[in-house]
Structure 1
Amino acid sequence: MITIYHNPKCRKSRAGLEYLKAKGVEFEIREYIREGITVEELRSMIDKLGIKPSELVRTQEDYYKENYRGKTLNDEAWLEALAAYPRLIRRPVIVKDNRAVLADPPERTDKLGI
């Protein structure tokens, strides 16, 4: 199963969604900002991406600049922050089975064999 963690207001996320549609594959859309996201979901996503939680943070987001810039957080604190304020999550994230990519640009999705 393929899942796209999607923000419909984000141009890059919409591009990732259109890329999947153009591939003609079945996928699930997970609107994580509207629906919320758990620490466990984030932990699984980060494991599949092969990155640290801090690497999933959108540092250009105003909320990040106002609350986190210049601070050193451990992995668990970043997971809590991302779950509490999901707009901080870089997007789109596309997951297929036990692997995932940050699909910016959308062609990175090809690394998943889609």
Structure 2
Amino acid sequence: MITVYGIPNCDTVKKARKWLDAQGLSYEFHDYKKAGVPAERLDGWLDRFGWETVINRRGMSWRRLPAEEREAMNAGRAREAALANPSLIKRPVVESGEQILIGFDADEWQETLA
């Protein structure tokens, strides 16, 4: 089973979901805004990929953080920040069995999921 974690109005999540639909792949969508971020999943992503990959440092949510907070970011602070503001997490995060993908890259997804 494929689980897509994200925010429904995010353009990248929309592209990713369209791609999955076009491939005929069924998936479950986990909406951060409605269901929050599952802390145990976030911990696994941070452990496996590091906060620098999990946190979207290009987005508006990151830029809105005070400079002191951005400069002092580490894994523990990233966890707290992401739980409080799921928009900080790079989207989408996709889990399929042991496979985890962060962000949308059609070529990588084709290789991993299709």
| TM > 0.5 | yes
SS at match of 1:41: helix
Selected match of 2:60 from 59, 62, 67: 62
Cα deviation 1:40-78 (Å, max 9, x = unaligned): 12012344xx41023221223333223254422221221
Structure 1 residues 106 and 93 mapped into 2: Cα distance closer, same or farther (>3 Å)?
farther
Q: Which amino acid aligns with 1:5?
A: Y
Aligned pairs (5 A) from 1:74-89: 74-89=74-89
**Deviation (angstroms), 1:93:** 1.3
1:103 and 1:74 map into 2 onto residues whose CA distance is: 20
The answer for unaligned runs of 5 or more in structure 2 is: none
Asked if 1:51 is matched to 2:34, the reply is: no
| Alignment match, 1:41 | 41
Q: Is the 8 A contact 2:33 2:86 kept in 1?
A: yes
Structure 1 63/12 Cα, relative in aligned 2: closer, same or farther at 3 Å? Answer: closer
TM-score, normalised by the number of residues in structure 1:
0.82
Give the drift of 1:14: 0.3
Query: Which deviates more, 59-68 or 37-46?
Result: 59-68
Task: For structure 1, list consecutive stretches of 5 or more residues without a partner in the other structure.
Answer: none
1:15 is displaced (CA, Å) by 0.4
Cα distance in 1 between the residues matched to 2:20 and 2:102 = 13
2:45, 2:54 within 8 Å by CA — same for their partners in 1? Answer: no
Identity, % of aligned positions: 22
Instruction: Give the Å deviation of 1:31.
Output: 0.7
- The AA in structure 2 aligned to 1:96 is S
Moved over 3 A (4+): 60-63
Question: Which structure carries more helix by proportion?
Answer: 2
